[in-house]
Amino acid sequence: MLQTSRESVTSPAQYESMTDEEIIASYQNSRERSLFLTLLRRYEREIYSYLRRYIGHTELAEDAFQGTFLQVHLKCHQFDPGRRFRPWLYAIATNQAIDVQRRNKRHRMVSLDQSNGGDREERLSGWSEKLVGDSPDPADVASAQEHRDWVNSSVASLSDSMQQVIQLVYYQGMKYREAAEVLGIPVGTVKSRLHAAVQRLGGVWAESAIKKDDESV
């Protein structure tokens, strides 16, 4: 049985120089366990972190993680050598997360305790900078935890499609074309959903700021 846990794994040195695409192509033909473990080692932290933020529940994220790599094993023959492996892997992980949520009738998403503020393609200005960047907490009078809780609940109030693009583009640092490949939608749709999500969150932020001002009077 193939190992799909997040315990530390090692792989033969000769595989380290191979690309993801070369490894999965070789695995398609040989089903060599070491090839599978090489991919698992490369992506275990990244994919588990993604699923943990996406689902917001440790045990469910673990289930989705194991399901993801089980599907990599079962569906490796479906991988197109002309594609990139990472978006294909994220598409599987996203589907596993959705399936886990449906089975458990849960709709929790996005933990923002650790956000990446690196470069983003066509970065949106304004409130979105505060969402993911290194800028100070926009609520000067609120604690960092209060801010995280507010963003958590606000993002979770968005539609599933909006949450997905925020997760992939902002928190996983994907380019629009990569997010589009993961979700199976046009690049323009990714951009429009992201813009709509930021606009929605900006409106919620403005309303909450006004409410706080009124309460302080």
Domains of the chain (ranges, CATH numbers): 13-104 (1.10.1740.10), 127-216 (1.10.10.10)
Nearest residue to 127 via CA among 204, 212, 54: 204
Q: pLDDT digit string (tens) for 59-76?
A: 999 999 999 999 999 999
The encoded tokens of residue 89 equal 């892997």
pTM of the model: 0.66
How many C-beta neighbours within 10 Å does residue 199 have?
A: 14
Computed over every residue of the chain, the mean pLDDT equals 76
Closest CA to 78 of 37, 24, 15: 24
Tokens of 101: 């949520």
Give the tens place of pLDDT for each residue, 156-202: 778 888 888 988 988 888 999 999 999 999 999 999 998 888 888 87
8 Å CB contact between 85 and 20: yes
Mean pLDDT confidence for 133-140: 45
* 154-175 burial: b if 16+ Cβ within 10 Å, else e: bbeebeeebbbbbbbbbbbebb
Residue 152 pLDDT class (50, 70, 90 cuts): low
Across 137-147, average pLDDT: 48
